[in-house]
Structure formats: C-alpha cells, structure tokens
Amino acid sequence: MSSLARRIPAWLGVDRAVGMTLLGRLWLIGSAPVTLVLIARTLTSVEQGFYYTFSSMLAMQVFFELGLSTVLMQYVSHERADESAAARIGSALDQAVRWYALVSASVIAAVIPAGIFFFASTARGADVDWRLPWALLVVFTAINLLSVPFAAVLQGLGEVAGVAHVRLYQSIGQTLTLWAGLLLGARLYTPAIASGVSAALALGIGFGRMGSRLRAIRAARDPRVRISWKEELWPLQWRIAVSSVCGFLTFQIFNPVVFASRGAAEAGRLGMSLAIANAISSVATAWITTRAPEYGELVARRAWTTLDADFRRHARQSVLVAAAGLAALAGGILLLRVAGHPFAERVVDPLTFLLVAAATLVSVYLFALAIFLRAHRQDPFMLLTVVNAVAMAASTLLLGPRFGARGVMAGYLLTNVVFGLIPGTLIFLRKRREYREPAGI
C-alpha cells in the first residue's frame, strides 16, 4: 500500500474499528436505495405507512432496556484499565444477562398488545394483514435483545472492530432477507422474517467469532466478587434511561401521530424520509460511537489533552459527513420532484425534507457532545433532554394533526435548536471545565 493510501484513512480518522463500523453503515446506505425502491414497488402506500410505523412502535423497548447497554460499555471501559478487574466485569455481565432476559420477556408481553391496540384504533377499515406480522416482529426483536449485553461488554473491552464485524454480517443477512421477502410477496411479514435472521446471525456469529473472549470473561468470575448495581451502574443508568425514554418521545412519536391523524400514506412518506436521513446520521456518527470506549479509558487515565484533541477531530468529521450526505439527499429529492418521478410521491416534499435534514444535523452534533460527557460516567444532558422531549412531544401533538408531516418537522427543528443546540453547547463547555478542575486544569 502506498504512503498516500495509508495517510488518507489516518487523516480521515478511519482506523479498523471505524472502518468496520463504516462498512456496516455504508452497506445500509448502499442498500437503502434498493430497499426503498422495493418497498415502493411491492407495498401499497398504506402498507408503507404500517411498515415504518411498526419501527416507531418497536422503539417502546427503551422503556424496558433503560439504557443498560451504554452504561455497561462505559463501566467496562473504565474497569479494563485495572488488570485485577476481570471478576468485576464478569459479575457485571452476569447481572446484565439476567436483566436482558427479563427485558426480552417483558417486551413480548407488553409491546405486542400495545401495538395491536394502537393499530386497531387508528387504522379502522384498512385492508391490510398486520396483526400476525406485528406479533412476529416483536418476538424476533425481543430475541435480538439477548445478544446486547455480550456486545456491550466486548466493546468496553476494546473489541469494537470485532463487534462491528459481526454486525456487518448481521446487517447484510437482514437486508438480503428483507429484499427476498419483498420480492416473494411476504409484504408486512418481511420485517419479522428479516428480524429473525438478524437474531440468528447475531447470536450464532457473535458467539462463534468471539466466543473464546466471552468464555474467558465468564471463567474469571469469582463468587466472592459481586458488583453493586445500585452503587456502580444505576447512578448513570437511570439518567441514560430517562434520556432514552425521552428519545422515544421525541423521535418515535412522529410516525404514530401522523399515522393516527393524517393517515397511513402520509405516515409512510414521513417514515421513508426519516429512514433516509437516519441512514446518513448512522454513518456520520460512526466516528464518535466507535471511540466511546477509548474516551472512557482516557477519562480514567485523566489524559485530558489527548481526549480533547481526539474528540474535536472526530466530532468535526461526524458533522461534516452528515452535512454533506443530507445536502446530497435534499438535492436528489428536489430533482426527483422536478422530473416527476413516481418515487417522489413516496417521500415528503423538498421543503419538508430540508427541515428533516437540518434537525438531523443538529441531532448529530448533540449526540457527539453527549458521547463525550457520558465518557465521564455522567449525563449532564438529562434535564435538558427531558425539557426538549416534552417540548417536542407537545409540538408534534399540536402541529401534526393540523399541518401533517411538515408541521411535525418544523416543530422538531425548532425545539432541537431552542432546547437542544443552544443550551447543550453551553452545558458542554461548562461541564468540560468542571471535569478538569480537580486536576488543576
């Protein structure tokens, strides 16, 4: 490999962990056009509305998961700096496995009837077979949750690239299954089938590729060593749990509100547009999410200079990638509308998408700040997140029924700026100074 070829990835901040994560997310970006075309061609506009609202309703799992995966990863990344912490990590993994087993059962017991109640009350008269597809989708999603604690611990131990590798295979298998299901006429059963394949790949490939590391963690357990969940995990977990629930209230109620008030077709257009924007966002945030364990270790070592330099570079890269991708998408939607292409009728109009893009860009920036702050095993954004969630939920409920998708996205952008961007930046700057004060910095 030439010197230039080696320098370009380094300049872009792409190491193996970022590279593997980007491959997975670029697969999602590259496959997204095929998926979107297949959805538009094989599902009716009403079925498309169900398809995307299914995803929003599934997000109710945050009420059970309560942000444990993030806390577990941060906890392990701090502990791994201590060579004698293997037994403590094993104890944390044991407790997390039991937690997720309970979470999976709870999701099946609660989310299936909640979805049936919602769709039955808001989609009267819709000639769509949705009940069994919905129930199967929830079941396979719950099974998927069983692999989460293992992935979180491995990431905390620095196996970010390995976990990303497994997720790449998982994503490819899920997408190919999705395409096959749509082409073969599985209609709304398709997401459930794809989720089942995803669960099998996550559990099978994950334990196969990194089974030895997981067995070593379990072997290091000591009955005399048991961490206190209440004292060591819960202080951060409850804060992230509040943030996660607020995330549901802010980002996942858009589709259900539009579905209930303006119909499945408009909800489908909004859902597809948000899916496109979120795909760009997921690629952009790879530079930050893959660094979270590294940030935790740097905080534990109080390596402030390195932490600040790395974070500034990674955050800048994330925001620039998001801005470029969202701008390209906005231009593409405008061209489709001008050309009169039928696909333009399956997404929101260009002005509404500009609102989606702007709000998504602000979210990427705030996400980067939150990752940095949580590396200190604190979540000072919690109160801000609650206020933003309440404001965004209120704007969605107020503007959605009257102005549809455009009103919802206008409220999304406004609240994201007023209750997110401005106070979030101020909080970040203040807390960063406070974290360094004990060291005299």
List pLDDT tens digits, range 115-154. 999 999 988 777 889 999 999 999 999 998 888 888 888 8
Rounded distance, CA 237 to CA 353, Å?
Answer: 34
Distance CA 210, CA 162 (A): 8
220-232 pLDDT, tens digit per residue, is: 777 777 888 878 8
Distance CA 378, CA 370 (A): 10
Residue 167's pLDDT band (cuts 50, 70, 90): confident
Q: Is residue 306 part of a domain?
A: yes
Instruction: Give the mean model confidence (pLDDT) for residues 325-334.
Output: 90
Per the structure, the complete domain to which residue 244 belongs is given by: 3-436
How many residues are recorded in the chain? Answer: 441
Q: Within 13 A of 103's CA, how many CA atoms are on the CB side?
A: 25
pLDDT tens, position by position, 208-251 = 666 777 777 777 777 777 888 878 887 878 877 887 777 777 67
Q: Using an 8 Å Cβ cutoff, are 61 and 103 in contact?
A: yes
The Cα 273–Cα 268 span in angstroms is 9
Number of H helices, E strands in the chain: 19, 0
d(Cα 154, Cα 77) in Å, to the nearest integer? Answer: 9
DSSP string, 239-278: HHHHHHHHHHHHHSSHHHHHHHHH-HHHHHHHHHHHHHHH
Output phi, psi for 410, to 5 deg.
-65, -45
pTM of the model: 0.73
From CA 113, how far away is CA 103, in angstroms rounded?
Answer: 16
Decide if pLDDT at 414 tops 90.
Answer: yes
Say if 441 falls within a structural domain: no
DSSP code of 341?
-
146 lies in a domain?
Answer: yes
pLDDT band at 288 (very low <50, low <70, confident <90, very high): confident
Using pLDDT thresholds of 50, 70 and 90, give the confidence band for residue 322. very high
**pLDDT tens readout for residues 12-60:** 455 565 666 668 777 877 888 899 889 989 999 899 999 999 988 888 8
HSE value, Cβ hemisphere, 13 Å, CA-based, for 128: 25
Residue 325 lies in a domain: yes
Where are the extended beta strands (E) located within 389-431?
none
In a domain, 222, yes or no: yes
User: Total structural domains in the chain?
Assistant: 1
Q: Is residue 163 part of a domain?
A: yes
**Any domain includes 261:** yes
Checking if the pLDDT of 5 tops 80, the result is no
- List CB contacts of 87: < 8 A, sequence separation 6 or more: 220, 221, 222, 225
